[in-house]
Amino acid sequence: MLPQIRLQPWYQGQLGVPGSDVPRGLRASSAGVVFFVDADHPNATTTADGTDPENPLSTITAAMARLVTFHAEASIQAANSVIVVAPGVYTDNITIANATYPEDCMILGASKFGTIWRPASGDALTIDQGGWTVDGIHFQPAADGAGVKLTWDAGSGGEDAVIQNCFFDGRWGTGLYGIEFEGAPANVTIQNCRFAEFDAASPCIIANGSATADPYQTHIFGNTFQECAEYLTVTIGSGFNGAIIAGNHFAQATGALAATTTYINLGTMGTGYNQVVGNYFDGDYSNTGGYTAEGSGNDNWVGNFAFDVGEAEVGDNGITIAVPAA
């Protein structure tokens, strides 16, 4: 990703556009633009051009509107743009529409805990365009929405998305979902995120109904799941296809909110060939305990670390040697 680049001060500012006359000058690059959002900055407005951190935009919505305008004028040059979001509380509902937004852009939070995205209702962020990255955001989903919803239907949507270094905070049963797959976006990566305090019927990660296909080649790496009733589950009529789930820690809830009933449920009959390796599994390593391989029978669950050494599918050393059974 290219750094912020600004022209030198022999270019005059534009009348009525705050931030356009700073000594560094306006950014000019064919590889996208950087917009700054800081709700608590004394100079923040919704009318600034957004390219100067000393005169930032006050909402994520305003930054996205600037990006859409830039994309409409510059087309392919808008790819690789970055929305930098300072610590603060943001209540936006954003849909990154395939028809109007560029591909391969980033929303970058300044603090995994301090940059809080908390809408009053609905989904905080819906990604219906390819190649977007979301990094360093503290999502506090509404009671009727997800922190991030990834869509895909009939060949377009949120494929190739990267969700990383984020905190999905159910706030002791307040939020509905952490991340929701609606349809089957392919090649999604979820890594180094924290999921906590989601109640029953509110999974941290859920794949919901799709008339198109199964979620394909999803990569879920290095995340922690704590104090939730359901961690990773599927409600569609099939299951994950070619996923790699590795290096995650699935902790048994203390029961302060609810007991953990689902650790991993990869769905019923689909294509399968999921690789579930190198994870830390708490609780009862069985179907009744909340661990379910995809129904096609092609999954590999060998090489995880499980506390339940009493199961035949777990060796005496705590290493899983087979998919979980009934």
Q: What is the pLDDT of residues 238-248, one digit of tens each?
A: 788 899 999 99
* Structure confidence by residue, pLDDT tens digits, 102-113: 999 999 999 999
Average pLDDT taken over every residue of the chain: 89
Residues in the chain: 326
Which has the minimum average pLDDT: 12-26, 68-82, 167-181, 233-247? 12-26
Decide if pLDDT at 54 tops 60. Answer: yes
Decide if pLDDT at 4 tops 50. Answer: no
Which has the minimum average pLDDT: 49-53, 300-304, 320-324? 49-53
Domain residue extents for the chain: 1-78, 87-306
Q: How confident is the model at residue 15 (pLDDT cuts 50, 70, 90)?
A: low
b/e code 78-102 from CB counts within 10 Å (16+ = b): bbbbbbbbbebebbbbbbbebeebb
Decide if pLDDT at 9 tops 50. Answer: no
Task: Spell out the alpha helix ranges (H) of 139-252.
Answer: none
Does residue 306 sit in helix, strand or coil?
A: strand
Decide if pLDDT at 122 tops 50. Answer: yes
In the predicted model, what is the mean pLDDT of residues 110-135? 96
- What's residue 29's pLDDT? 46
Q: How confident is the model at residue 1 (pLDDT cuts 50, 70, 90)?
A: very low
In the predicted model, what is the mean pLDDT of residues 276-281? 98
* Structure confidence by residue, pLDDT tens digits, 38-48: 999 999 999 99
- What's residue 239's pLDDT? 80
In the predicted model, what is the mean pLDDT of residues 218-243? 91
Q: How confident is the model at residue 152 (pLDDT cuts 50, 70, 90)?
A: confident
Nearest alpha carbon to residue 213 among 192, 235, 231, 236: 236
HEC secondary structure over the chain: CCCCCECCCCCCCCCCCCCCCCCCCCECCCCCCEEEECCCCCCCECCCCCCCCCCCECCHHHHHHHHHHHHHHHHHHHCCCEEEECCEEECCCEEECCCCCCCCCEEEECCCCCEEECCCCCCCEEECCCCCEEECCEECCCCCCEEEEEEEECCEECCCCEEECCEEECCCCCCCEEEEEEECCCCCEEECCEEECCCCCCCCEEEECCCCCCCECCEEECCEEECCCEEEEECCCCECECCEEECCEECCCCCCCCCCCEEEECECCCCECCEEECCEECCCCCCCCCEECCCCCCCECCCCEECCCCCCCECCCCEECCCCCC
- What's residue 264's pLDDT? 97
Residue in this structure with the two tokens 């930054």, named with its chain if needed: 63
- What's residue 7's pLDDT? 45
Decide if pLDDT at 298 tops 70. Answer: yes
Helix and strand element counts for the chain (H, E): 1, 27
Decide if pLDDT at 27 tops 60. Answer: no
Q: How confident is the model at residue 281 (pLDDT cuts 50, 70, 90)?
A: very high
In the predicted model, what is the mean pLDDT of residues 87-99? 97
What is the pTM (predicted TM-score) of this model? 0.90
User: CA distances (Å), 89 to each of 36, 64, 211, in order?
Assistant: 15, 17, 36
In the predicted model, what is the mean pLDDT of residues 215-219? 91
What CATH number labels 87-306? 2.160.20.10
Q: How confident is the model at residue 230 (pLDDT cuts 50, 70, 90)?
A: very high
